[in-house]
């Protein structure tokens, strides 16, 4: 391995083997290279005499009179195009240029020597070569003759006598090395630096800290420490899933960086994989001559983080902002609301207005303060039926509103809500939920047999119902005692259980909101299609074992909203209506200002 100036490559001959793809650099990468060399040229006046701009490695293997180019095709092809352009403006014999031969794409070699834009659509290689050539022409067209001459002098400087130059890391493989294996290892085994890591390196460059000495070192160390502290905070699941719905393992600070980038008029397309890094590089490169520019930029990053942290720490904004993010709102849209607000109460009002639009789009903010608002809300809620898309948003909001309106110190666990799969669960099973496979049927029958044991039915005050329960226990035990399992008899048992134990609730209410709640799918699958008392016991068991059960779901199965709880066997029509009324009353209180 060695460092070689570009000028030392001009007499070499390279060939690109067939295992490599064609030229793929876009205008953005080409312009970045030109900008970097130009910036190095201007900044190197005050640098040590041996300073140079270094390109990434060029990996080669000697093959007769040529070099097999194992890695570095994109860089050398782009340099070739730049040298071609500069040769046209220089004396014809002032310098030569290395050659590029394509083992499996001879047309590309010819095209590089005679670039014809009208052929750009003939193949993908031509397209990218033309794009690069036009970018180079456009970039140099805006430069003076002195700039062009100075650029060429820097690009081809020998490094002797104090001249600045551009160099490549020249890595020559041993004669016995297998070039294809090396290529595969280089291109498939790379762990690319993330945008966050690149921005951090950009900010921590020593040139950004102009005071020099121990003070500059202290500034660097302080910025690095604060960066790490922000990343550490973002790594905490409760904070991360408050502001984000994405499962990101590392470099979560990119979330904050993306907020700053979005507030910037960036020349880089957001779809570009290096959008964040290139945007910050552009911000720093084109910033006014201000020695405190980095300090101010870092202050913006910290300020955005501290604002999100403040929302997280506040009980009310935590739930309102967290709810909107869970429903798909972007953090940018929430920041826009914050910027439009006059003070914190106004910000809370704007958040509630956005939430109202999410769950009740037919009701506007002007109606919230009217006496008819609770009736409008109740009518809208009662009209919802499973599987209306608004049900999930409404049931989640009900949980949030309980924690805010009842002045509870508990916080909704957005991290658990987002990492678990959640179902809209029927409180009392409906007839359409009959298990479809034999294992599911057996599990359901075993639940009935165990739950309706005669000893447990002794305390049943209704003698007729006690006998019915005992009979269902016998049928379930008899069905399980025989193999093969009889699917027809199971269907008869299922319908009989539904008729006996769900008889006090009209079938028309099965899919209305008074029979629905939120539950994680793991808990739901453990008792799906079970009767109400079995579900209730499973909920209590799951809660004891540390499973996250939303407060409204827990309340439902404890019949918290019911006026009469003398019978835990049924989810009755009265239970249904009391629960639905509780949803309406809680949300009316929430929207009309009854929060912390």
Q: What's the mean pLDDT in 58-69?
A: 93
Shared-domain flag, residues 499 and 521: yes
Half-sphere exposure of 154 (CA within 13 A, CB side): 23
pLDDT of residue 22: 83
Percentage of the residues of the chain whose pLDDT score is greater than 70: 89
Shared-domain flag, residues 212 and 146: no
Reply yes or no on whether the pLDDT at 369 is more than 90: no
Q: What's the mean pLDDT in 445-472?
A: 80
pLDDT averaged over the chain?
86
Of 84-93, 214-223, 347-356, 397-406, the range with the lowest mean pLDDT is: 84-93
- Nearest C-alpha neighbor of 199 from the set 257, 252, 260: 257
Shared-domain flag, residues 176 and 232: no
368: pLDDT confidence band, cut at 50, 70 and 90?
confident
Domain boundary among 298, 313, 328: 313
Shared-domain flag, residues 450 and 568: yes
Mind spelling out the 3-state secondary structure of 38-56? HHHHHHHHHCCCCCEEEEE
Number of domains in the chain: 3
Q: Give the chain's end-to-end CA distance (angstroms, integer).
A: 66
The reply to whether 381 falls in a domain is no
pLDDT of residue 278: 86
The reply to whether 556 falls in a domain is yes
Shared-domain flag, residues 451 and 540: yes
Q: What's the mean pLDDT in 498-515?
A: 75
The reply to whether 156 falls in a domain is yes
Shared-domain flag, residues 219 and 183: no
pLDDT of residue 286: 59
The reply to whether 256 falls in a domain is yes
pLDDT of residue 543: 86
- Nearest C-alpha neighbor of 228 from the set 258, 196, 205: 196
Q: What's the mean pLDDT in 366-374?
A: 82
Ramachandran bin of 511, using left for φ above 0, alpha for ψ from -120 to 50, beta for the remaining angles: alpha
The reply to whether 360 falls in a domain is no
46: pLDDT confidence band, cut at 50, 70 and 90?
low
Contact call for residues 321 and 330 (beta carbons, < 8 A): no
pLDDT of residue 571: 81
Rounded Cα distance, 157 and 176, in Å: 34
The reply to whether 44 falls in a domain is yes
Shared-domain flag, residues 101 and 40: yes
Shared-domain flag, residues 62 and 161: yes
Shared-domain flag, residues 214 and 99: no
Reply yes or no on whether the pLDDT at 291 is more than 90: no
Rounded Cα distance, 376 and 394, in Å: 15
pTM: 0.71
Residues 6+ apart with CB under 8 A from 308: 243, 256, 331
The reply to whether 318 falls in a domain is no
Domain boundary among 289, 313, 337: 313
Shared-domain flag, residues 125 and 219: no
pLDDT tens-digit series, residues 74-84: 999 999 999 99
pLDDT of residue 453: 81
Rounded Cα distance, 329 and 327, in Å: 6
The reply to whether 159 falls in a domain is yes
Shared-domain flag, residues 170 and 184: yes
535: pLDDT confidence band, cut at 50, 70 and 90?
confident
- H/E stretch holding 67 reads strand 66-71
Domain that residue 293 falls in: 195-313
The stretches of 53-165 forming alpha helices (DSSP H) are: 73-89, 106-113, 124-141, 145-155
pLDDT tens-digit series, residues 424-451: 888 877 766 677 788 888 887 888 888 7
Of 44-48, 105-109, 321-325, 443-447, the range with the lowest mean pLDDT is: 44-48
Query: When comparing pLDDT for 344 and 366, which is higher?
Result: 344
pLDDT tens-digit series, residues 185-232: 776 655 566 888 888 888 887 667 765 556 777 888 889 899 989 999
Shared-domain flag, residues 29 and 177: yes
Domain boundary among 297, 313, 329: 313
């Amino acid at each position: 391995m060695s460092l070689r100036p570009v000028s030392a490559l001009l007499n070499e001959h390279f060939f690109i083997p067939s295992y490599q793809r064609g030229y793929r650099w876009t205008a953005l990468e080409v312009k970045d290279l030109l900008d970097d060399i130009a910036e190095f040229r201007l900044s190197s006046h005050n640098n040590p005499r041996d300073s140079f701009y270094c390109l990434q490695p060029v990996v080669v293997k000697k093959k007769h009179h040529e070099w097999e180019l194992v890695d570095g095709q994109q860089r050398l092809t782009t340099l070739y195009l730049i040298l071609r352009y500069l040769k046209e403006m220089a004396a014809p014999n002032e310098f030569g240029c290395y050659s590029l031969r394509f083992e499996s794409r001879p047309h590309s070699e010819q095209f590089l020597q005679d670039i014809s834009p009208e052929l750009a659509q003939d193949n993908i290689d031509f397209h990218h070569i033309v794009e690069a050539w036009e970018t180079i022409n456009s970039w140099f067209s805006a430069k003076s003759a002195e700039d062009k001459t100075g650029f060429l002098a820097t690009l081809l400087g020998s490094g002797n006598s104090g001249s600045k130059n551009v160099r490549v890391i020249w890595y020559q493989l041993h004669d016995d090395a297998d070039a294809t294996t090396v290529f595969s290892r280089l291109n498939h085994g790379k762990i690319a630096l993330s945008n966050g890591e690149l921005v951090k390196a950009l900010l921590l460059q020593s040139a950004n800290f102009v005071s020099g000495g121990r003070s500059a070192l202290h500034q660097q160390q302080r910025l690095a420490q604060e960066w790490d502290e922000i990343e550490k905070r973002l790594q905490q699941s409760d904070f991360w899933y408050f502001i984000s719905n994405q499962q990101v393992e590392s470099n979560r600070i990119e979330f904050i960086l993306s907020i700053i980038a979005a507030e910037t008029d960036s020349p880089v397309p957001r779809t570009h994989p290096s959008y964040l890094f290139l945007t910050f590089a552009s911000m720093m490169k084109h910033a006014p001559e201000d020695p405190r520019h980095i300090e101010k930029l870092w202050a913006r990053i910290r300020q955005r983080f501290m604002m999100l942290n403040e929302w997280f720490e506040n009980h009310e904004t935590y739930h309102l902002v967290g709810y909107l993010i869970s429903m798909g709102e972007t953090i940018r849209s929430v920041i826009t609301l914050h910027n439009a607000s006059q003070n914190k109460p106004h910000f809370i009002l704007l958040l509630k207005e956005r939430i109202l639009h999410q769950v009740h789009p037919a009701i506007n903010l002007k109606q919230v303060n009217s006496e008819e608002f609770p009736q409008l809300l109740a009518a809208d809620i009662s009209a919802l039926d499973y599987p209306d898309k608004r049900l999930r948003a409404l049931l989640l909001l009900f949980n949030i509103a309980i924690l805010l309106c009842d002045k509870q110190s508990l916080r909704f666990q957005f991290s658990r809500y987002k990492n678990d799969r959640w179902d809209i669960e029927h409180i009392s099973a409906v007839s359409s939920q009959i298990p479809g496979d034999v294992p599911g049927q057996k599990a359901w029958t075993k639940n009935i047999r165990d739950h309706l044991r005669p000893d447990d039915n002794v305390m049943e005050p209704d003698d007729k119902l006690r006998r019915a329960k005992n009979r269902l226990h016998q049928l379930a035990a008899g069905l399980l005692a025989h193999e093969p399992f009889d699917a027809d008899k199971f269907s008869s048992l299922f319908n009989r259980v539904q008729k006996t134990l769900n008889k006090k609730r009209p079938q028309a209410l099965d899919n209305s909101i008074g029979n629905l709640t939120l539950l994680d799918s793991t808990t739901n699958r453990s008792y799906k299609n079970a009767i109400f008392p079995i579900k209730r016991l499973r909920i209590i068991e799951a809660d004891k074992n540390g499973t996250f059960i939303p407060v409204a779901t827990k309340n439902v199965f404890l019949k918290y909203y019911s006026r009469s709880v003398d019978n835990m066997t049924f989810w009755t029509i009265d239970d249904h209506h009391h629960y639905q009324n509780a949803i309406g009353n809680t949300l009316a209180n929430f929207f009309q200002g009854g929060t912390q």
